[in-house]
Amino acid sequence: MSDAAPSQSVPPAQDSTAEIRARAVVPYLPGLDGLRAIAVVAVIFYHANHSWLRGGFLGVEVFFVISGYLITLLLLAESTRNGRINLRDFWLRRARRLLPALWTLLVGVTVYVAIFRRDELGNLRGDVVAGFTYVTNWFQVHTGSSYFSDFGYVPLRHLWSLAVEEQFYLLWPLLMLVVTKVAKRRMPVVGLLFLLASVGIAVLCGWIYRSGPVGDIAQTPNQYFSFLGRDVSRIDFAYLSTTTRMGGLFIGAALAIWWRPWSVARARIASRGAALDIVGLIGLAGLGVMMWRFQNVVAGTEEGARGYDLLYRGGFFLVGLASVAVIAAVTHPTAVLGRVVLGNPLFAWVGQRSYGLYLYHWVIFQFSRKLAGKELTMPQFLGLMAITLVITELSYRLIETPVRKGNFSRWLRSWRGAETPERRRHRTRMVAAGVVVAAFPVFAIVNLSTAKLRLDAISQSLVDAENATTDVLTRPTVTTQPVTSDVQSSTSVAAAPTTLPAARIDVLAIGDSVMLGAAPELSKYGITVDAKKSRPFKAALEIVNYVKSIGSLGDNVIIHLGTNSGTTAETMDAIFTALTDVDRVVVLTNAVPNHKWEEGNNTLIRALPDKFPNVTVVDWKLLVDPNPDWVYDDETHLRPRGQVAYTEAVMAALGRPLVPVPTTTTATTIGAGD
């Protein structure tokens, strides 16, 4: 590809170089803003309600590819024009573009939480510091504050992707500075190396990732590995770390090496706009199919929560390939896709504000729904998006644009000047504005630094309840060590140890985090509670078979599972067939609003008595729906009043009075509180 136009008279080499330098300008590319619009809308839909667009999270990967392409292109253009890259100017431009809105968000969130949700302020401190320093992704990996948890008030969780990009902005110019000096005449090879780096990152991500259920480290140790002296989740690392998410940035950078608009415009391919439109449409179709068909990042399954294998084993790379196809089309000078379709005024408007939309939408959603995984209804979504658009536009016009264009700096310099009455009034207004604006950060910093760190209400209730549970699978075998006396020698001889017969469990309750919350209440009435967070329905079969095998299964069993995932008729049949010898089995329905498996699970549960006469169903769903004060904001886990109501319903189904059982501990009893 030649940068010079064919001519009868060849201009001097110096003139040719000057022409190349003059052409090395990155024009405004409305099609890129259109692609940004698609990406941010996909992410917003996913964050609002996973069922609307299960693969909407892939929009973040599209952003990475765009950033890799555009930032590399800008650095190449600067190097071509000036013969060097000015790192200071680059980083200053990035700071002016990114920091004002981010700092506004961090201060605004801190002030809001300090006023309206003060109990959560201590938990927010780490997120604010990580967001301010652009290390949110590593902070989440290190602390294990999983990006995939539905429970918890996490208004700054989404800043992980901005951290990945900012780390790229800090390091990439340094690499490009070296590349443009050392390999200036071998840039196509550099592009190939960038592409191979993207492939290598995809391979690394697949190697780190593990298929199968994802629980805590005790339940699924293979899903964790040691990183900097700490056990971290493989799936969190694969999704959040800069190491595994740089693939999109690298493949975008590779395209920038090969596909520079100022060169493309003078090459033969400049007249092949129709062909590029086809390439772009194929890329768009690929993105659309993947966003529609890809499963959630982590989803509840029969075996428990697990990751989507395809995503971590090449899925991100496929998104990158589709994205570069679209970018190549929308940056082509004669392709219709960029100028007309994606570059239309509406898409361009949204794309220009995509940064603000991404920053503010998640926070506003969280302020409303209070928990990360609570899905929005369409009316709720429309109302919150109206608020988001207003705040985004105010931020864009009053904060981001003035700072980016230097208006704020000029306003500060307006302090200087001759002393006149008008100048004094102007300075007074500046001081008043400064005091008002500074009051919010000061209030935020003081409150944030002094806030106490405490668990959220749901987590605290589950932690408090753990002492009232028994893990029947890991309880050690009880043995005796009888001693016989040798009268002749007056010495003691130890006989062989003997295993005592296992005591029968009068009432065994098997459940997940909902039952765990009620464990202290249930244990008051002699119920042995084996309940754990994130437990799948299938786990009940292992517990039942084990307790039967040691002869401890009594006459009463309670089962409440299905909060985290669906189950099948085959699994239900296996569990309750194993319980046919039990006099009474009490099963509770699920109350997990906005989760697709709720109705399916409850249909299976309500049908159990027809097939298994010893089963009694407590329709917890029907009991709790008219009583929202029984559950926390997630509409699932139990408040203290709900714990009491839950226990009363279970005891009524057992046909037992609400009379507390005195706590006794023996060497052979498996009971609550062991």
Between CA 162 and CA 362 the distance in angstroms is: 13
Q: What is the pLDDT of residue 173?
A: 96
- SS3 assignment, position 505: strand
What are the structure tokens assigned to 93, written together? 């431009």
Quick check: 279 pLDDT over 50?
yes
Q: What is the pLDDT of residue 439?
A: 85
Q: Give whichever of 302-306, 380-384, 503-507 has the largest mean pLDDT.
A: 380-384
Q: What is the pLDDT of residue 354?
A: 96
Strands of 505-511's sheet in order across: 528-531, 505-511, 553-560, 584-588, 615-618
How does DSSP assign 393-435, residue by residue? HHHIIIIIHHHHTTHHHHHHHTT-S---HHHHHHHHHHHHHHH
| % of the chain residues with pLDDT over 90 | 61
Instruction: Average the pLDDT over each of 369-373, 525-529, 590-594, 640-644 and give the range with the smallest value.
Output: 369-373
Q: What is the pLDDT of residue 267?
A: 85
Q: Which of 1, 71, 78, 80 is nearest to 32 (CA)?
A: 71
Q: What is the pLDDT of residue 499?
A: 43
Contact 20, 79 (CB under 8 A): no
In this predicted model, what pLDDT tens digit does every residue of 353-387 receive, in sequence order? 999 999 999 999 999 988 777 889 999 999 999 99
In this predicted model, what pLDDT tens digit does every residue of 31-51 receive, in sequence order? 999 999 999 999 999 999 888
Q: What is the pLDDT of residue 487?
A: 37
CA dihedral in degrees (35, 39, 44, 49; nearest 10)? 120
Mean of pLDDT over the chain: 86
Taking residues 270-286, report their average pLDDT.
94
Percent helix, strand, coil in the chain, to 5, is: 60, 10, 30
The secondary structure element, H or E, covering residue 555 is: strand 553-560
Quick check: 239 pLDDT over 90?
yes
Between CA 587 and CA 611 the distance in angstroms is: 14
| % of the chain residues with pLDDT over 70 | 89
16 pLDDT band, cuts 50/70/90, is low
Instruction: Average the pLDDT over each of 134-143, 189-198, 477-486, 537-546 and give the range with the smallest value.
Output: 477-486
Q: What is the pLDDT of residue 2?
A: 37
Note the maximum CA span of the chain. 124
- SS3 assignment, position 259: coil
Quick check: 100 pLDDT over 80?
yes
Per the DSSP assignment, residues forming a β-bridge with 511 are: 531, 560
Contact 556, 582 (CB under 8 A): yes
| Bigger pLDDT: 432 vs 614 | 614
Q: What is the pLDDT of residue 535?
A: 87
Name residue, tokens 């593990």: 210
Q: Mind listing the domains of the chain with CATH numbers?
A: 26-450 (no CATH), 461-477+497-654 (3.40.50.1110)
9 pLDDT band, cuts 50/70/90, is very low
Quick check: 20 pLDDT over 60?
yes
Taking residues 61-65, report their average pLDDT.
97
Q: What is the pLDDT of residue 475?
A: 61
Q: What is the pLDDT of residue 15?
A: 42
Q: Give whichever of 58-72, 110-124, 360-374 has the largest mean pLDDT.
A: 58-72
In this predicted model, what pLDDT tens digit does every residue of 123-182 receive, in sequence order? 899 999 999 999 999 999 998 876 666 667 889 999 999 999 999 999 999 999 999 998
Q: What is the pLDDT of residue 452?
A: 85
Taking residues 25-32, report their average pLDDT.
90
Between CA 68 and CA 77 the distance in angstroms is: 14
In this predicted model, what pLDDT tens digit does every residue of 398-438 receive, in sequence order? 999 988 887 777 766 777 777 777 777 777 887 887 787 78
Strand locations in 385-537 (E): 479-480, 483-486, 491-494, 498-499, 505-511, 528-531
- SS3 assignment, position 115: helix
Taking residues 292-309, report their average pLDDT.
80
Q: What is the pLDDT of residue 493?
A: 41
673 pLDDT band, cuts 50/70/90, is very low
Quick check: 486 pLDDT over 90?
no
Between CA 289 and CA 421 the distance in angstroms is: 65
Q: What is the pLDDT of residue 476?
A: 52
Q: What is the pLDDT of residue 66?
A: 97
Q: What is the pLDDT of residue 12?
A: 42
